[in-house]
Structures are given as structure tokens and as C-alpha cells.
Structure 1
Amino acid sequence: MERVKSKDITIGGIPIPVYMGSDGEYRWSMRQASKAVGFNEGWLSDTLRTEGNALNRLKGYGFKEDIVEFQGQGFIEGNLISTEDFMAMIMYAAVVGRREQAVALMAAALYETLERRADRAFGIIRDEDEYIQKFEFRYASILLNKGLRSAIGEWIEENQASLQEYTRQYSIKGGQRGIYASALGKIYQHLFGMQKKSINEVLDVKSYETPKSNVHVTQLQSIAQIEDLAKYIRRKGMNPLEAINAAAEALMIEVEEPRLGDRITRQDVYRVLGAKQELGAIKSNEQ
């Protein structure tokens, strides 16, 4: 039975311990991994025990059953899976299980990976706390975005007779997709006082990119808060745009300038290090 070190991290809003073995390999709790992808804590243990179709399909996504027992504090024992097996669980839960948590976790993790690669290519260094913050808000935004889409979809189904009047009143084109796009556009209007194209011009990013991918984490959090509240307000008989207006008012949202996530270039690092060296030299000369 292996003895391991552990640290607590947060993935998708779910606290989960990550373990490091004597060989330096990272491993994950079977129970917490099951919960992180949207299943109950005993799902993986049950799947392995029954050896049914679910296990066969899980193996199809690269699950190797690379499991080790570990000795925790006192007499607590548990089972740990490899990062590769955790990835297989995420894929299975997202594609086969259609678990929103797994879909959001996979999307947010991929987003962070691509962003890190791009930052490295351009010599950009980010504070690690910003990466973690942006990952968490991105994960929450994906889940809440799905919730708002679902609420708008339900509203459309319940109001087929008045849809034409609604789209005419608010000059919406593009059917159901246009209704959702207009809702997101209204959120941008409340936060930034401008539409997507203008926001991207301010951020100096491609016109087709979603502002949610580029704005500062605090602004991404505001978007998520409006989405979260709007999907509940809609139950009071409001249409999507009315619900968003009410949510923004309740949250006392004020218009602000769109901001990119905080970035530090390699040149900035050299400049700061140079300044520190100069300060150190001055202090040495004074002594």
C-alpha cells in the first residue's frame, strides 16, 4: 500500500484532493473523481465491481484500471486512479453520460490548455491565481450558459403562438438561435454598453470570438451572475429579455469598459527584475 502526499485543489467548483506518489506521479481519488464528473461518489467503484457494459464503454475512452491503494491519515484507506483514467472518466461522462459537469469541466480544461499554449508561444506570463480564477469562472459560465439556454428553450416551447410578435417587437432574426443570441447581447449591453463586435474591438481580438473567452475574470463572473439569476426570474412569466433586464437591475450592474485578463509579458518581467537589481545595487552602495 503506497503512502502519498496530498493537496486540495478545486476543479469546477468541486474541492478534490490530488495525490503525489513517491514516483512523482499525480493521482486522483476514485470517489471525488466520480463526483467531479457528475456521478455519485460510488459510481466508479460500482462500475468496476459489476464489470458490465459501462466498464467496457469506459475502457473505450482509454480507461486502464490503473488503480493503487493508499494509506491516508490514521487508518483511512482509499483508491487512487491515474490522470489518464480520470481523463477517460471525464470523456465518458460527457459523451455517454451527458453530464453537464463533465462537459463544462472538459471545455474549461481545454480552454485553459489552449490559452497556456498560446501564452507560451507569445512569451506571455500569467499569474497562477488568475489561471485558476479564470478556469473556475469559465466552468461556472459554461454550466450557467447551458441553464439559460435551457430556460429560453422552455420559454420558446411554451410561447409558440406569440413568438412572431416577440421577434418583431425586439427586431430579432434567426429563429431560436437568434432569440438566445439577443439574450446574450442584452447581457453585454448591460455590462459594457455595447454589442459583441464593439467589445472585441476594444479588447483587440477577432470579431467572431465570444467576449466571454477574453474578458477579465471579474467581468466573466458578472456575466455568469446575470445568466444564473435570469433563468430563475423567467419563471415569473417574463420573456428572456425582460428576465435579463430584471436580473441586471437586481444585481445593480453598472456599465464598465471591457477588460482583457491581466497579462504580464516577458519584457515586463525583465523590466521588473532589472529594476530590482538596480535597487539592490543602490542599497549596497549606500551601506
Structure 2
Amino acid sequence: MARAGKVTPTYGILIGCSCRAGCLDLGLAALGSVIKKGFRVAAITITPLLKGLCAKKKTNDAIIILHRMTELGCMPNVFSYSVLLKGFCHEGRSHEALELLHMMADDGGDCPSDVVSYNTVINGFLKEGQLKEAIGFFEKMCSDGVEPDVVTYSSLMDYLCKNGRCKEARTIFDSIVKKGLEPTITTYGILLQGYATEGALLEMHKLMDLMIQNGVQPDHHVFNILICAYVKWGKIDEALLEVSKMRQQGLSPNVVTYGTVIDGLCKSE
């Protein structure tokens, strides 16, 4: 192994396997050996270590390693930054994630921020209940020329629905369609759950019809949302009808379905 040359695959395998097995000390020791011997590494070798540290909520240690990557002869790539973005947001440190996103933009163009990176940060703000900051960041995202995708809009809808603001979520849903984007089954499920929680059963039923009309086939989760809603609001006949529709589409009721229906039948006696 030539000094100052690229690290042999052995070290990369050792670091990767150690981190995936949760043995961060071993992974760090292997990286320390690489540094001591003066070898160069690729970003792909260090990324598993960054993931392992962030998973253990040691994002501060991970950011130190990220800053030292250039000393090891490699530049952080978009995957390296993405790991840290998720780490900060997972720890409720969305403002630091935003700073890191700015760092990506200033990194000489080698790590252009994409919609996934922006979605990670906007999700972080929403998980912390900072809707104003999330909306501001959404606007910045658009002004930066990064086109929001269905995931972006779905995140905003999810927050609104969970906070009793389904009308606003529906406005966003309609805007998705107007922009030519296709709502996913997850997007439909978010709004269906919002309607179900609020007891807006007619709107829920209409949205289900629209979903099927647009060629999005409901899965167990979607059917269970409807069944749970009907049972919750004392409409057991409608719930049983949904179970029948579920079977007609080749889906077998699962433990959630049966549990909900049985509970509803017992309460109706």
C-alpha cells in the first residue's frame, strides 16, 4: 500500500461493516488507522460512518468528520451531506440543517442541493411544529429554482391535516393536480386520514372515489382508514360495506380490519 495513495478496499469494507453492525468504535478506529498511515479515501468509504454516528444521535461527531474529509483527500458528496441533513433534523436541529444546506450551495458546485435535500429540511421544520419557518423555506426553495415535488406538498398536507386544517390541505392537494403532478397513494391517504379524523365522511368518500377514478388503487392502509372512520362515527353498515369492497379488490382484511369491525359491532349491541 503506497502512502498518500487511495486506501485499499480492506479498510473500506471494515469501516462499512463495522458501522452497519453498530460497532462505531471499530469503524472510527479503522478510520484513525487510515489517517495515521496517510492514505486517501473516497467519500463512499466515510458515508457509512456518518450514517452510524447520526443514527446514534452523534451528529456533532459526524459533522467534524465531514469537515475533515478534505484532509483525507476527498470532497463530501451529496450523499454525505444528505446523511448529516437527516441527522440534524432527526435531532430537532432544523436550523443547523439549513446552515448545512447553505454550505452545500457554497461548496464549489460539487454538491448541488436537490429537491430531496430541501424536502429533508422542510420536513424537519414541520416535525418541530415550525410551520411559519417551513412555509418560508418552501418559498425559498421555489426562489432557488428547486421545483417542489409531490413529497414536498404531501409533507405540508400531513402537518395541516394533523392539526385540524384539512381545508388548507385540500387546497394544496388541488394545486398539485393543477401543476400537472400526480398525487400518490400516500398523498391521498394523508387527506383521507384528515377527513376521517374530523368526521368529514362525505368528503372522505368523495376523495376515495376520485382516487379510484384517477387509477390509484386503494391498499390495506387506505381501506382501514375508511373502516376505522365509519366505526368511529357509528356507521357500522358503511364499514362492513368497505370490507366487502376490500375483498372484491382481492385484498384480504388484516388484523387491523378485523379488530376495528369487531370493536364496532360490540359497541353497537
**Interval of TM-score (by shorter of Structure 1 and Structure 2):** under 0.3
Q: Which of structures 1 and 2 has the larger relative contact order (alpha carbons within 8 angstroms, sep 6+)?
A: 1
Instruction: Tell me the TM-score normalized by structure 1.
Output: 0.25
Instruction: Tell me the TM-score normalized by structure 2.
Output: 0.26
